[in-house]
Structure 1
Amino acid sequence: MSNTDSRYAGSRSGAELLHRMVGGDGEAAMSALLEGFQSRHPGVSLGDVTDENLSLTVKSRILKENPPDVWVEWPGKNLAPYVEAGVLADVSDVWTDAAMEREYLDGPRSAATFEGTYHAVPLNIHRINNLFYNVELAVEAGVDPSSVSSPREFVELLRQVEVETGQVGMLLPMKNPWTVLQLWETVLLGEHGHDVYQSVTDGEAGRHRRAIEDALDIVSAYADLATDDALYVSLTDANERFIEGESVFFHQGDWAAGAYTETDGFRYGSNWDHVPFPGTEGRYAMNMDAVIASEATDNDEAVEAFLRYAGSADGQRRFNQKKGSIPPRTDVAMGQFTGFLQRQHEDFESSRSQPLSITHGLGVRPEQLIELKTAIASFVAERDVDAAASEMVAAFEQQ
């Protein structure tokens, strides 16, 4: 932590923002947000400190009674340990005074609240239940991606693609367990519905063991139809291979589309497109970042000013344009966003529900997420559905 410790002392004269957005679209997004904040509040001192080990650093500094004033973290159940320890500020006034509540849908609001109290301001939303596809290859295979009604039915479509084109239907990166866990939760949502998904994340996984097993079985079927080297393929590698036309389909969060828009000759709508993953139509499964504040801050006015700006339409427009995500507010002008993100925002506004992602820590506590990734790592290596289901049920029911 030596690269950041030296900066902490110098930033204490004003409010301190700690985040992990270093390089790429994350850094560009944070720079745009801070530039907008300073233009609105030129008299407020706000120093930002970057740290790639943010969660560990925050926990360490809380224990040392020297927490950052504000930091950026996943909301939802990921914040439960902080709330239980009483170290997060109650930011409800920001929501009521700024009239933000009416501009946020239920999903983002629920990720920010604990027992009726707001402890976070969601900053952006990434959708995880996207199914990207190569338009030309889909036509060649004679398949309509929007016609598939369930994850189980999608298995048959992938087999059809292989027969018709001789190519793999869907690339499946399995090098890191989180990509497989993300696919599993999307399959669970699509095959068994939002009520089962919510019940599983609420600690009632034992009641739904068969659904958990079924989703694992479907993921295993996808793996059987993946490339021979799938166990060694990373997300970045798989995304590049999808761009090169190695598969018709690719399931991933909307962050994958950043590489598509930056690739010459790979145009949205004509070369690549997307639909909700089969069975998840009308659901906007979310990963998001949020701004949270320490209960022990000495810089109340500066912290409140930044929280209000982070939750404002202007702040979210600036941040999300650069981040390649959509604003959690529904009243942000989308005219300067890409066509893909404009369509994502339309889907978000019209969605029936906005489930909180398991894989990205919103739908489960940190210790549960560790156990779930461990279970999936074993499943990837051994493909033992029964054993993996037992481990996952135990993880979900750990409270």
Structure 2
Amino acid sequence: MSRSTSVGGGESGELLHRLVGGDGGAALDALLDGFGQRHPEVSMRDVADENLSLEVKSRILKESPPDVWIEWPGKNLQPYDDAAVLGDVTSVWEDTDMERYYLDGPRNAAKFDGVYRAVPLNIHRINNLFYDVEQAEALGVDPAAIDSPRAFAEELQRIDAETDQTGMLFPMKNPWTVLQMWETVLLGEHGHDTYRRVTDDAAAAHRRAIVDALDIVGQYAEVATEDRLYTSLTDANERFVDGESVFFHQGDWAAGAYTESPEFDYGTDWDHVPFPGTDGLYAMNMDAVIAASVTDDSEAVSTFLSYVGSADGQRRFNQKKGSIPPRTDVDTSAFTPFLQEQQSAFQQSASQPLSITHGLGVRPDQLIELKTAMSTFVSSWDSEAVADDVVAALDRSA
């Protein structure tokens, strides 16, 4: 699927992305509309391609890269940086107020060796634990009082043993949901320092933590529904809305289905807390706009990146996307109450860990191997053997 539209006039640039339809398409349209109003002198042609990464790589090899594209930042961009094909956008950061209003997590995800290579556009929180308010109250469960992933496993086991309720739906049809659960458990049970060292080529030194997190994930699986291996994220999310479980762990994008349900009200029917053990941490997935090192119109690129990093651009985009802005000064008064709370938690967070599952915390080749390891895990439940696979993936040189 592809589309091509343009906004603006004189100077020109090309934006490649995969945001078509749904909240992503609406968010991009809002961003481009705002850009066109602010900068009618610049023409920004947007081209959609569902095989974005492949298309970007192909065009770089053909020496005709897009001027800018939307992609995950962090270690996902490491191969591009190694190949010296990313533009230096440091001047965009330094000539605007962006450095002042971005927290360390998003800023670090945009930099390689002190040079800015990207402008983060939005943030999704990974470490949410959603819960059914009525069920939690009926069972005498205080989600905010569960202080660790291991304590959460014990609570799920109690619910399974003493009631007819499902403690937590756990979709495993796609290995990324299992990987996301594992990284969240690792973060909550062993802390941000261990999490960061595991992703920074020191996984072998923390193998016991890796095994322990896998064991806890296995405990969650033991009390999940029998069809867990065949359940997709979308199906599980819909079943949570229908009241099938007390808890559901997922990124904040899952809440889009909750806010669209007329009989599932925030604060009354559903609520959320940080996943046990991760209070004060804002584990992030994000999109960013990246510039190529070669462009026919550097002025158009700089103008567009400056708008992407502005409060106006991020307000427009994130309100439609169902995410929060990486800037801390954006007016979110028109956002949903849930997203306003997410923004407040982001601003108050002590650290903003980069997600493994969504490519910010690991390189693309490592992510493929980690997903493969999780596929092995759900078929064997052998924590020791899978830990060896995880260590091999994370400690292997690029």
* Pairwise same-fold verdict (TM > 0.5): yes
Matched with 2:282 is: 284
Question: Match for 1:144: what amino acid?
Answer: D
The alignment partner of 1:280 has SS state of coil
Deviations 1:265-295 (A, max 9, x none): 1000000000000000000000000000011
Gaps of 5+ in 1: none
Question: Match for 1:310: what amino acid?
Answer: V
**Aligned residues with identical type, % of pairs:** 69
Matched with 1:167 is: 165
Deviations 1:361-395 (A, max 9, x none): 00000000000000001101111111110000000
Deviation (angstroms), 1:340: 0.2
User: Given the alignment of the two structures, is residue 377 of structure 1 paired with residue 375 of structure 2, yes or no?
Assistant: yes
Matched with 2:99 is: 101
On the 8 A contact 1:15/1:45 being kept in 2, the answer is yes
Deviation (angstroms), 1:161: 2.3
On the 8 A contact 2:169/2:245 being kept in 1, the answer is yes
Matched with 2:266 is: 268
Choose which of 300, 303, 309 in structure 2 pairs with 1:302.
300
Deviations 1:137-174 (A, max 9, x none): 00111100000110001011112223444111000000
Gaps of 5+ in 2: none
Matched with 2:126 is: 128
CA 1:330/1:176 → structure 2, altered by over 3 Å: closer, same or farther? same
On the 8 A contact 1:140/1:165 being kept in 2, the answer is no
TM-score by length of 2: 0.97
Taking the aligned partners of 1:59 and 1:307, their CA distance within structure 2 comes to 21
Deviations 1:285-344 (A, max 9, x none): 000000000111111111111100000000000000000000000000110000000000
On the 8 A contact 2:5/2:46 being kept in 1, the answer is no
The alignment partner of 1:327 has SS state of coil
On the 8 A contact 2:65/2:294 being kept in 1, the answer is yes
Taking the aligned partners of 1:163 and 1:205, their CA distance within structure 2 comes to 35
Choose which of 315, 330, 333 in structure 2 pairs with 1:332.
330
Taking the aligned partners of 1:128 and 1:255, their CA distance within structure 2 comes to 9
TM-score by length of 1: 0.97
On the 8 A contact 2:10/2:41 being kept in 1, the answer is no
Choose which of 363, 366, 370 in structure 1 pairs with 2:364.
366
User: What root-mean-square deviation, in Å, do the aligned CA atoms of Structure 1 and Structure 2 show?
Assistant: 1.5
Taking the aligned partners of 2:215 and 2:100, their CA distance within structure 1 comes to 41
On the 8 A contact 2:11/2:41 being kept in 1, the answer is no
Detail structure 1 runs of 4+ shifted over 4 Å in the superposition: none
Matched with 2:187 is: 189
